[in-house]
Structure 1
Amino acid sequence: MFLRKLLVLNLALAGVISLEVHADELDTLQFKAGQSFQHDSNIFRLSDSASNQAVLGSSERSDTISVTTVGAKVDKSYGLQRFEFEVNANRYIYNDFSKLDFTAVNYAAAWRWSLTPAFHGNLTTDRQEYTDNTSDVQNTGQLNRKTNRFTLLDAEYEIDGPWRVIGGVFERNSTNSQPFTFEGDSRVRGVEGGVKYIFASDASLAYRFKQGNGNYPDRVSSSMFASDFEDREHEFKLDWPISGKTAVQSRLAYFDRAHDGLEARDFSGVVGNVSATWKATGKTTVTGGLVRELGSYQTTDSSYFVDNRIFVAPTWKPTEKTAVLLRYDYSRRSYKGPLPGFVSIDRRDTTNLGSIAFEWQAVRAVKVTTSLFTDRRKSNTPGFDYKSNGVNVSVLASF
């Protein structure tokens, strides 16, 4: 049955290529359908030292994945109100490891509300499910799917002049398909508040204080694990359009997580990111940046990780209908916070992720993309290194 539907979709896509869609038909309501095929040489991100036969029951570690996508998007304004909604259903079919087949339904919705021109805000919610190739699972040879949900109600009041008062409430959830992951599931509910200043150049500087109460669902408190925690964060954000060709966005924060009854799991430190976009020429744009993150990673010899990443992503558009996209990410991650009585193994990982893609806007409504990628992780701890290469071909139609 699914193969029949897939064949119908492919024929539909072939037919759409011959159509042109007027811009006004895409403004308010859009539908999309797509098909992609990706070959991955190491879908489980296994170390070279791992025995495929013992771990997977197969001599192969590569596979070809078919992804069928259907979705819809609405963007409509009514007076001072604006409503946005997008939903996508993605069906993943693995050629060899069929036990990994799944369907992900992702969405993003927003109400850009306004009571008066000076008092406005956002009610947003989204869900993203994806295969987390970097996730370490306790059972080698398993693939983890991570689902992140985030809901935010915020408000901004424009005081006389450039000052704004900002605040909001939020809920953030993260779950894993594998029951035994070192990062674990988490849920946080909190509030935020602060001030924002708008410069005459349209640059903005904002300060927020965020406080959240969280827990690790289904985790029982013990001498090794805490079930509840509290997050505190002082955050500064700067958006700076330096010129018509260059813009900078940055975030600098101090984050602190305190676990109820188990101080050994606590962690804190500076986090944030800075990214810049430079329109070098009419056909070339370069984006790059730095990212620093802290995250929970609970074993006997670690409680959290510190991740520092640098990336660069140039785009070249030789014609109006074609584009070449490159991206390179380099990260260094270290694991800290051993429990009392346990010796830290001082694990450190470096990851190199590179890709090159070619896009072709076949007609107004259809985009064809081909790409190559390489993903490598080196670790000073045996068993956590891997190498993977892949190729992807996709067609996406919007109508």
Structure 2
Amino acid sequence: MWFRICLLGVCFIDYAQAAYDPEDILKLNAGLGYQYDSNLFKLDENINNTQTNKMGKRSDSKLEARLGGRLDLTISRQLLTINADINQISYQNFSDLNHNDWNAGLTWNWLVGSTLSGKLIANTSTRMSSFEDDFLSGSGNSVLDMQRQNSLNWQGTLQLKSSIAIIASAGTTTEKHDLKEYINAKSDVASIGMQYQSEKGNFIAARHSWRKYTYDQDLPFRAGFTEQTSSIDIGYAPSSKIDLNASVGLSQWESALNGQSQNTPQGDLALVWRATSKSIFRMSYGQSFAEFTSGAGRNLDQRMNLNAKWLMTERTDWTIDFNHRDRSLEVVGSRSANDESTDSLRLALSYRALKPLTISSYVQAEQRKSDVRNGNYKDYQFGFNARFDY
């Protein structure tokens, strides 16, 4: 049904093109997508699961139909943004994985007087859980598990002077699974700090944050943790072509499993270089804990990203993106375990055929090398997408 709705919309491009305006209060969009995946379940070449044994193949193609919308409302000095989208995903071979993804959110950009401002963001989403980091692995890594996330986050800024402000935040996030209930979890966070920002937009901020992570189910080998992190963030633009951002901090966290604590450094460095009016380069490197984890410890990621974008014409642009991630499982009171390394390379082409219609395509290669038995995999993808804005 969703495919028919989307295709019907494309048939009325001429009418919609006349009506489309990026400044509209209400924005609607529809999309169609196709993707081929050579290793859908992210399996080692030496193993299969119940699905691949049954079908005699690891690869599959999927069709995705998407409908979405956004509503921007200005009420006095307050700005409300409501967004929602739903995706219908259908697989050609592994039809047991057919499902609907959806996402809905509300953002309130609030302002009180001339010195107090911030955001209140509520979001809820449902999507298929990834096969990449499945505990079950092997023959068990083959079934549809829907993952639901709900979050509520508050951000506030108290402007003391034109260049000095107190910054604070608080939030809670829950993750629930239909099948893998043993990794259902809740994360509560809060932070407070101070920021200095110059007239040119350069800034430095010092922040201290607290976090509590709990699992819904207690297991003998796994428990949550509490954490405190102190950090300094710096943003500097030496020219209109270059942006530099850096963050350095120290995390002190205590495991609820054994009551022991550990200090772990964290940080990020990012560079944006607008080489010409048609080309932009981005580079980043950093170390931080993954947002959600599913084991006896925490996943510590070291990441590097290289990205280049070239505007070939007013309607056409190319993007190449390389990602490298080293991941280790950090357990308080013991050495790092289960080291793995993942690399991915993606080449994408985007073409704006009409003002409301964008057509894009991509190819991607990904490889993981892991110390975990049967944890290695190689995966190749390519896909096409069409997005229509109204």
TM-score, length of structure 1 as denominator length: 0.88
8 A contact 1:17–1:362 mirrored in 2: no
1:362 is matched with: 353
- Deviation for aligned residue 1:306: 2.2
- Deviation for aligned residue 1:304: 2.7
Matched, 1:190 2:189: yes
1:285 is matched with: 280
Deviates more, 1:148-157 or 1:163-172: 148-157
Matched, 1:166 2:167: yes
1:260 is matched with: 256
C-alpha distance in 2 between matches for 1:67 and 1:393: 10
8 A contact 1:252–1:273 mirrored in 2: yes
8 A contact 2:69–2:84 mirrored in 1: yes
Change beyond 3 A, Cα 1:345–1:215? closer
Given the alignment, which residue of 370, 373, 377 partners 1:386? 377
Change beyond 3 A, Cα 1:313–1:345? closer
C-alpha distance in 2 between matches for 1:54 and 1:77: 50
8 A contact 1:237–1:250 mirrored in 2: yes
Helix, strand or coil: the match of 1:20? Answer: helix
8 A contact 1:40–1:390 mirrored in 2: yes
1:153 is matched with: 154
Matched, 1:29 2:36: no
Change beyond 3 A, Cα 1:381–1:259? closer
- Deviation for aligned residue 1:321: 0.6
Matched, 1:250 2:251: no
8 A contact 1:137–1:180 mirrored in 2: no
Change beyond 3 A, Cα 1:160–1:294? closer
1:335 is matched with: 329
- Deviation for aligned residue 1:86: 1.4
Aligned-CA RMSD value:
2.6
Change beyond 3 A, Cα 1:187–1:331? same
Deviates more, 1:46-55 or 1:200-209: 46-55
Q: Which residues in structure 2 correspond to 1:161-310 (within 5 Å)?
A: 161-179=162-180, 184-217=183-216, 219-220=217-218, 222=220, 224-226=221-223, 228-260=224-256, 262-263=258-259, 267-295=262-290, 303-310=297-304
Helix, strand or coil: the match of 1:7? Answer: helix
C-alpha distance in 2 between matches for 1:351 and 1:188: 26
Q: Which residues in structure 2 correspond to 1:129-148 (within 5 Å)?
A: 129-131=126-128, 132-138=130-136, 139-142=140-143, 146-148=147-149
Change beyond 3 A, Cα 1:8–1:346? closer
Helix, strand or coil: the match of 1:290? Answer: strand
Helix, strand or coil: the match of 2:378? Answer: strand
C-alpha distance in 2 between matches for 1:71 and 1:174: 23
C-alpha distance in 1 between matches for 2:5 and 2:52: 37
Q: Which amino acid aligns with 1:393?
A: F
8 A contact 2:102–2:127 mirrored in 1: no
- Gapped regions of structure 1 (runs ≥ 5): none
Change beyond 3 A, Cα 1:14–1:392? farther
Helix, strand or coil: the match of 2:4? Answer: helix
Q: Which residues in structure 2 correspond to 1:66-81 (within 5 Å)?
A: 66-81=63-78
- Deviation for aligned residue 1:79: 3.3
Change beyond 3 A, Cα 1:157–1:255? same
Q: Which amino acid aligns with 1:254?
A: L
Q: Which amino acid aligns with 1:315?
A: K
C-alpha distance in 1 between matches for 2:212 and 2:255: 10
- Deviation for aligned residue 1:221: 5.2
- Deviation for aligned residue 1:114: 0.5
8 A contact 1:258–1:267 mirrored in 2: yes
Helix, strand or coil: the match of 2:239? Answer: coil
8 A contact 1:310–1:331 mirrored in 2: yes
TM-score, length of structure 2 as denominator length: 0.90
C-alpha distance in 2 between matches for 1:121 and 1:250: 23
8 A contact 2:309–2:318 mirrored in 1: yes
8 A contact 1:52–1:60 mirrored in 2: no
Q: Which amino acid aligns with 2:323?
A: D
C-alpha distance in 2 between matches for 1:272 and 1:128: 29
Change beyond 3 A, Cα 1:221–1:382? closer
Change beyond 3 A, Cα 1:303–1:190? closer
Change beyond 3 A, Cα 1:128–1:380? same
8 A contact 2:100–2:127 mirrored in 1: no
- Gapped regions of structure 2 (runs ≥ 5): none
